[in-house]
Structures are given as C-alpha cells and as structure tokens.
Amino acid sequence: MNIEQARFNMVEQQIRTWEVLDQNVLDLLYVVRREAFVPPAYRALAFSDLEVPLSDRAAEGERMWQPKMEARVLQELAIRRTDVILEVGTGSGYLTALLAYRAQRVISVEISPALKAMGEANLRVRQVENVAVELGDAARGWERHGPYDVIVLTGSTPVLPQALLEQMKPGGRLFAIVGDAPVMSARLVTCRAPGSYDSLDLFETNLPALRNAQQPERFKF
C-alpha cells in the first residue's frame, strides 16, 4: 500500500467532501500519522471510511471514529492555542493527539485500563507531551481540572449530563453524540455565559454509548 497516496485519498475523497474545508484541519491530518495509532492487526484499514476496532477483543464501543468524523469534530470545535480540553474516552489516542496539536493542554479520561495504556503508549511514541491521560469515569463530568474551554465525548450519551455543561467556561464548546439508537444527533453546545447555552445539531449518526452514560428518567407506575 502506498501510505501517502492512501492518506491523500482519505483527505480528498472522504474528509473534504464531508464539509471539512478548514485548511488547518486538513493539513494536520498529514502531520499526525493516523496509521501510528491504529492497532497493527488493522493497520491496512487506517485510511478507510470505517470505525476500526481497537483490538481483536474490542468491545462493541471500543472503536476509532471514522476519519471524516474526527476531522469534522475538530473543525466544528474551532480549537485555539489557549484551550484546555477534556476528552472523555482516550481510545487509541489519535483524536487526543489531533486535539493536543491545536490546544494548550488535553486532559483525556479513559475508563478502560487497557485502552488507557494503549493511548498513553501511542502518545508517548509520537512525543505528544501536552496531554494527561487519567483513569476514570468521566461520562458525567470530570471536575478535577475544570472548568474547560472544550469538552469532547468520544462515545454517545442518551442524555447530556448537566454537570458537563456546568464544567464549560464561558465561550466553551462541547461536542457529544446525544440520543438513542438507531438515530442520534451530533451536537455542538456553546456556553454563552454561566447557565446559558446554545445548541446546534450538526448531523445524524449512531455510536455506542459511553460506559455508565447518563440515562433518561423512566416513568414509574
């Protein structure tokens, strides 16, 4: 496989055609080598329009996003050099690295010890130093380093927890996949002022839920 040709095809045929036109984002996809974050058994799929498993024993939700999704989210969040980011779910560390190259600091919280180790190792090899990977459950918030300029959930949540909204700084942005299968909304939430939020649904998708994601209240009879 010609890796550079495959990368070019990914950018031009998958990503640019999915409304990702920010040249800084497109350029970054050539800097952060996606294939370096894909498990060796699946490296041939690194540039495919697929959700790549994180191991041959991966649980249903333990997959890398499609490349076009990673790029689109990066574009929509409009990350600045001064931003402090909370990432919920480290996975392979690829999205973490993309975020880190544009931000001041990323705090990435991973609930799986095995995935935490994988993500940390990948980031260390690539010498991405402005990231702290922590073991824990941030599906309903992670106050330890907040408030944050940007929050990204890498798995879906049936309900967007209020605690996550409250951990955004004014001017902060949050990306989450919200709802239940088979159709969920990719949602960008902006904090205008404490307690004041604007919400924009970008596109429809379907993604496995974060472990321990908040569930809607059920009526009891």
Query: Does the residue 87 lie in any domain?
Result: yes
Q: pLDDT confidence of 111, banded at 50, 70, 90?
A: very high
Q: Which of 114, 159, 128 is nearest to 141 (CA)?
A: 159
Query: Does the residue 211 lie in any domain?
Result: no
CATH of the domain at 135: 3.40.50.150
Find the domain containing 102 and state its range: 3-205
CA 188 to chain centre: 12
Query: Does the residue 218 lie in any domain?
Result: no
Q: pLDDT confidence of 95, banded at 50, 70, 90?
A: very high
Query: Does the residue 215 lie in any domain?
Result: no
At 134, list the tokens: 């922590």
For residue 7, CA distances in Å to 4, 29, 68 come to: 5, 8, 12
Q: pLDDT confidence of 215, banded at 50, 70, 90?
A: confident
CA distance 170 to 46: 36
Work out the percent of the chain whose per-residue pLDDT is above 90.
Answer: 89
**Whole-prediction pTM value?**
0.93
Q: How many domains does the chain have?
A: 1
Q: For residue range 132-145, what is the model confidence (pLDDT) as tens digits?
A: 999 999 999 999 99
Query: Does the residue 90 lie in any domain?
Result: yes
Residue 217: per-residue pLDDT: 76
Identify the DSSP state of 144. G
Question: What residues have CB less than 8 Å from 59, skipping those under 6 apart?
Answer: none
Residue 57: per-residue pLDDT: 67
For residue 219, CA distances in Å to 16, 157, 204, 216 come to: 44, 19, 27, 10
Q: For residue range 7-63, what is the model confidence (pLDDT) as tens digits?
A: 999 999 999 999 999 999 999 999 999 999 999 999 999 999 999 999 776 555 689
Report how far apart the first and last C-alpha atoms of the chain are (Å, whole number).
60
Query: Does the residue 214 lie in any domain?
Result: no
Query: Does the residue 181 lie in any domain?
Result: yes
Query: Does the residue 191 lie in any domain?
Result: yes
